[in-house]
Structure 1
Amino acid sequence: MRITASPHAIAAGLAIGVFAAFTPFFGFHFIIAVILAYLLAGNIGAAALGTAVANPLTLPFIWGGTYELGRFVISGGNADGAGSLNLVRALETMRFTEIWTPLIKPMLLGSTILGALFAVLVYGVTRVCVTGFRKKQAENRMSRQLMRRESRIS
């Protein structure tokens, strides 16, 4: 609330950070958020703060949700339509081709959809809150100035 940027820049930055937090590129969320905030004129500090959505408590839900949504969309609603995933085998060989279709592709698609939805929600709520907070601050400042003027006159 105390960032000096415009309400749009703050809301856009926070939304960009939330979007980046949904990507499966753990360890690169901050870098993704900073680059996107710079390119889209969002506040970089707010973007960095938004990446905190991805934390040890939320990551299992984010990853599970993005994977399942991506798998559902790719398979067209058919549970057997997506490639099968043998995570242990895929991670043992670390071949990109073995983890792309069953894991990364669904997570990228799901993270794009869920990240965009949450980013839009965060943008709207943040913009309203920052605008309201600043309006209330301005009203309080005016009230204090009026009280000072009245006390000087008396």
Structure 2
Amino acid sequence: MVFKRRDRRPAWKVVSDFFWPKGGWTRAFHYVKHRLRRLPDPPHRIARGIFAGIFVTYSPFFGMHFVAAILVAWILRGNIVAALLATFFGNPVTFVPIAAISLQTGYFLLGKHISQNSDVHHSLGEAFVGAGRDLKENLFALFTDANADWTDLHIFYDEVFFPYMIGGIIPGLITGLIGYYVSLPLIQAYQNRRKGAIKAKWEAMKEKAAAKADAKKNPD
């Protein structure tokens, strides 16, 4: 195939690039920032898209953040490309604190308590593993004589998914609004400066063309 990689990356390299992209997270951040500033849309629409992208990263719908960002941006009449780029806010570096904040907020709102000695990251990983195991084993149970057991999936929903979903709303709104109000004036300033540079360049071209025309009319 024309676009197929000639050198297939090993599994460890795929995982490594996911957690640490080529060029590092700083380069990736500057790439996203550059793309956001150059989007051909009014600043308020781009800023709404940024809000949407940041907001959905606080949801437990992993693997569907792009879809959720598109939906929220469409509802808010924001820029969809900006929303997709802003989901970069949720990455392997930030997912652990995002999950911890969302879970703790959810437990507080629901009146539940997290043990002082519990490891949120460890508990979250165990819950995901248990839910995945339930889904796999119960899928096989459909075609065998084994009994379906949804215990781990039920625990995952009660202790992780639902508190995460409820708890992510408030910090998601706060962080999204910060992203909106920080990005809006920056995008406005960049677009105004870019329009000014384009106008100045156009005026210089017109003056140069006029000078050439005058030189042809009045040769020495």
Interval of TM-score (by shorter of Structure 1 and Structure 2): 0.7 to 0.9
Q: Which moved more, 1:144-153 or 1:39-48?
A: 144-153
Q: 1:141 and 1:89 mapped to 2: Cα distance? A: 55
TM-score by length of 1: 0.81
Q: How does 1:4-153 map to 2 (within 5 A)?
A: 4-75=40-111, 87=127, 91=131, 92-93=133-134, 95=150, 96-148=153-205, 152=210
Aligned to 1:99, the other structure's residue is in SS state: helix
Deviation of the 1:135 alpha carbon: 1.4
Query: Are the counterparts in 2 of residues 21 and 50 from structure 1 also a CA contact under 8 Å?
Result: no
Q: 2:79 and 2:128 mapped to 1: Cα distance? A: 40
Provide structure 1 residue ranges, at least 5 long, that are not aligned to the other structure: none
TM-score by length of 2: 0.59
Compared with structure 1, are the counterparts of its residues 88 and 41 closer, same or farther at alpha carbon in structure 2 (3 Å cutoff)?
Answer: closer
- Higher RCO structure (Cα 8 Å, ≥6 apart): 1
Deviation of the 1:64 alpha carbon: 1.2
Letter in 1 for 2:127: L
Compared with structure 1, are the counterparts of its residues 79 and 64 closer, same or farther at alpha carbon in structure 2 (3 Å cutoff)?
Answer: closer
Q: 1:118 and 1:6 mapped to 2: Cα distance? A: 22
Letter in 2 for 1:4: P
Tell me the percent identity: 25
Aligned to 2:168, the other structure's residue is in SS state: helix
Tell me the residue number matched to 2:31.
none
Letter in 2 for 1:7: P
